[in-house]
Amino acid sequence: MTESHASLAALRRIVGDSHLLTDPSLRAGYEVDWTRRFGGPALAVARPADVEELAGVVKVCAEAGVAIVPQGGNTGLVGGGVPRNGELVVSLARLRDVEPVDGLAGEALAGAGVTLAALQQHVRAAGWEFGVDLGARDSATIGGMVATNAGGLHLLRYGGMRAQVIGLEAVLADGSVVRRLSGLAKDNTGYDLAGLLTGSEGTLGIVTRARLRLVPPLPGRSVALVGLPNTAAAVSLVARLRRAPWLLAAELFFPDGLELVARHSGARPPLAGPHGAYLLVEAAAERDPTDEMAAALQEESSVVLASDPAGRRRLWELRERHTEAIGAQGIAHKLDIGVPVARLAEFVERVQETVSRTDPTARTILYGHIADGNLHVNVLGPAADDERVDDEVLELVIQMAGTVSAEHGVGVAKRRWFAADRGAADLAAMRAVKDALDPRGILNPGVLFEPS
Ligand code: FAD
Ligand code: MLT
Ligand code: ZN
């Protein structure tokens, strides 16, 4: 029996025959990512039922030197949750327990495999809301969102995933379990392991449960779509709205993206054009904030407002459906970048020139979380493995004091630019942490760092 056959037999004993998938047709959905740009063959897919089974799986892998790729909802966009070269995929999808909401503390305890939509439903039923929201809510899991430190649509108000995490349970590379879940809002005993694991993209530990901060619900909602001449006008308007107590979201997109979404979904763009840029704004308050938002936008010449749920959803879909509309055109190069807000308008101009200069046939579609300086640069045209456009755009981002990954993570997609972005000293410190916690390099090799 070869070593990997012996490992598979040991894994099968832990998770049971029906939760160790070796058949290629059963593995297939776990072996390619959402973008269709990344993926490869897996040794097998293991689906442990709980933290004990997971710890057993990791111990077997640690002893045999089998590499592991943790996977949640597989909605990640940087290739970090899919195998590259015969690793074991460990799916957390079965860790779906949620405990009753702790209304005294305003906290929820959820398993890593709970989807964002399921968590939202659970906490809403108890009169609370969760502070992070994103378009992949039906599939993205709490474990994946912790691992990527997901940002999303409400970051300007509540912060990203790291700001919501109060405590974590996780399995480390030797199979040991770290756990701090009792819900201590203040806890200054030593290193912040939960903070370290958040955003570590499955390279330091496998998250099994998270204790999460909740926020009060704001049932009064209103959404506006504003047509503007250009990005600079959108940035100025957001600067003014940022002071409003009701601002929940501010999202930017452009006519080419809107046209693509309209064609893809059959929706009719609600504003008569032409406009150089569109700003979608959501207001949230205890009572209906429509009047306040309308007053704040009264000087704008092209605005549509919706307060009813169906109208609000229709406006949101014009923004949220960009990802799928672009995906339907082909395999996009998805560059999730951040620049200082003051330089956003300059970036929008320079990135178009940069892409056209590098590949005159490429199409560039931009949208994103304007208040956070986070734009999604989607380039259609270049072959999936042709990285010339990626190189030029990310070089521009670094020149402009930006980040090559604002919210999706580094994964394998941005690994080549990680050092240029963070610098040698940061990289060495991170490498030292990785080597200390995972000396054999079995957790997600190839993500963040070159595999050793
Ligand atoms: P996966 O894709 O399964 O994994 C992502 C990474 O986390 C991988 O490196 C994986 O190894 C690791 N991982 C997964 N689970 C665990 C675990 N339990 N323990 C340790 N490591 C783990 N992202 C945003 O930040 N903001 C957005 O607004 C946003 N919108 C999106 C909209 C669409 C339509 C899509 C398709 C994606 C969007 N994303 C967004 C990206 C994606 O949804 C997030 O990165 C999300 O956090 C990934 O969760 P997941 O469960 O799908 O993780
Ligand atoms: C979004 O904001 O829509 C997401 O991060 C997904 C994407 O980049 O397409
Ligand atoms: Zn985003």
Query: Residue of the nearest CA to atom 53 in ligand 1?
Result: 144
CA-wise closest residue to 316 among 241, 383, 265: 265
Paired tokens of 287: 């009572």
Which of 323, 347, 366 is at the close of a domain? 323
Number of domains comprising the chain = 4
| Cβ < 6 A, ligand 2 pocket | 77, 135, 323, 334, 336, 376
Whether residue 364 lies inside any domain: the answer is yes
Whether residue 262 lies inside any domain: the answer is yes
Ligand 2 centroid from CA 142, angstroms? 17
Whether residue 41 lies inside any domain: the answer is yes
The residue assigned the tokens 């990785």 is 434
Q: Taking CA 169 as the corner, what is the angle to CA 164 and CA 174, rounded to the nearest 5 degrees?
A: 135
Provide the domain limits for residue 257. 220-323
Whether residue 405 lies inside any domain: the answer is yes
83 and 51 housed in the same domain: yes
Ligand 2 centroid from CA 279, angstroms? 16
Nearest ligand by distance to the CA of 72: 1
Pairing mode of beta strands 277-285, 220-228: antiparallel
205 and 143 housed in the same domain: yes
Whether residue 451 lies inside any domain: the answer is no
Ligand 1 centroid from CA 383, angstroms? 24
237 and 273 housed in the same domain: yes
Sequence-ordered list of residues with C-beta below 8 angstroms from that of 255, at least 6 positions apart, any chain: 273, 274, 275, 276, 278
418 and 338 housed in the same domain: yes
**H runs (alpha helix) in 280-343:** 290-296, 309-320, 322-327
281 and 294 housed in the same domain: yes
Mapping DSSP to helix (H, G, I), strand (E, B) and coil, where does residue 350 land? helix
CA-wise closest residue to 83 among 92, 95, 71: 71
Cα 412 to Cα 81: distance, rounded to the nearest angstrom: 9
316 and 342 housed in the same domain: no
83 and 160 housed in the same domain: no
| Cβ < 6 A, ligand 1 pocket | 34, 69-77, 80-81, 92, 112, 134-136, 139-141, 143-145, 147-148, 150-153, 201-202, 206-207, 323, 407-408, 411, 444, 447
Give the per-residue pLDDT at 4. 78
Ligand 1 centroid from CA 316, angstroms? 21
Ligand 2 pocket mutation, candidates 116, 153, 253, 322, criterion most atoms within 8 A of CB: 322
Whether residue 442 lies inside any domain: the answer is no
Which of 262, 290, 323 is at the close of a domain? 323
Q: Sign of torsion, CA 309 315 316 320?
A: positive
Which of 58, 91, 124 is at the close of a domain? 91
119 and 203 housed in the same domain: yes
177 and 251 housed in the same domain: no
224 and 318 housed in the same domain: yes
CATH of the domain at 294: 3.30.70.2190
346 and 247 housed in the same domain: no
Mapping DSSP to helix (H, G, I), strand (E, B) and coil, where does residue 447 land? coil
Whether residue 437 lies inside any domain: the answer is no
CATH of the domain at 160: 3.30.465.10
Identity of residue 243: R
CATH of the domain at 46: 3.30.43.10
| Phi, psi (degrees; rounded to nearest 5) at 206 | -110, 120
Nearest ligand by distance to the CA of 134: 1
360 and 391 housed in the same domain: yes
pTM of the model: 0.98
Query: Residue of the nearest CA to atom 15 in ligand 1?
Result: 144
Nearest ligand by distance to the CA of 140: 1
Whether residue 28 lies inside any domain: the answer is yes
CATH of the domain at 348: 3.30.70.2740
Q: What is the pLDDT along the chain (452 residues), one digit of tens a residue?
A: 567 778 999 999 999 999 999 999 999 999 999 999 999 999 999 999 999 999 999 999 999 999 999 999 999 999 999 999 999 999 999 999 999 999 999 999 999 999 999 999 999 999 999 999 999 999 999 999 999 999 999 999 999 999 999 999 999 999 999 999 999 999 999 999 999 999 999 999 999 999 999 999 999 999 999 999 999 999 999 999 999 999 999 999 999 999 999 999 999 999 998 999 999 999 999 999 999 999 999 999 999 999 999 999 999 999 999 999 999 999 999 999 999 999 999 999 999 999 999 999 999 999 999 999 999 999 999 999 999 999 999 999 999 999 999 999 999 999 999 999 999 999 999 999 999 999 999 999 999 999 87
